[in-house]
Amino acid sequence: MSLSSNSAHSVCTFVSINNRDMRLIDFMNAFPDEASCKRKLKEYREKQGVVCPQCGCTQHYWKKDKECYG
């Protein structure tokens, strides 16, 4: 799975257990496939609030074809 550096960094911040205690096997058990990881990242983004980094707009929609917000 390819993640941008921002997305990859986000993975460590929303894991429910202390990320210092998390082992690779724990991560693999929590996210056994790419789809489960994408769902969690999307859920995390929605919980944090989706804000355009350029204009600050909070209105958004999910672009299924690109799996990102527009």
pTM for the predicted model, two decimal places: 0.53
For the chain, where are the alpha helices, taking DSSP H only?
Answer: 5-14, 24-30, 34-48
pLDDT of the residue at 11: 44
Cβ–Cβ under 8 Å, residues 30 and 22:
no
| Sign of the alpha-carbon torsion through 45, 46, 47, 50 | positive
Residue 50 has pLDDT above 60, yes or no: yes
pLDDT, tens digit, for every residue of 54-70? Answer: 888 888 788 888 877 77
pLDDT of the residue at 18: 54
Bridge partners of 63, per DSSP, are 68
- Per-domain residue ranges for the chain? 5-69
pLDDT, tens digit, for every residue of 1-31? Answer: 444 434 444 444 444 555 567 788 988 999 9
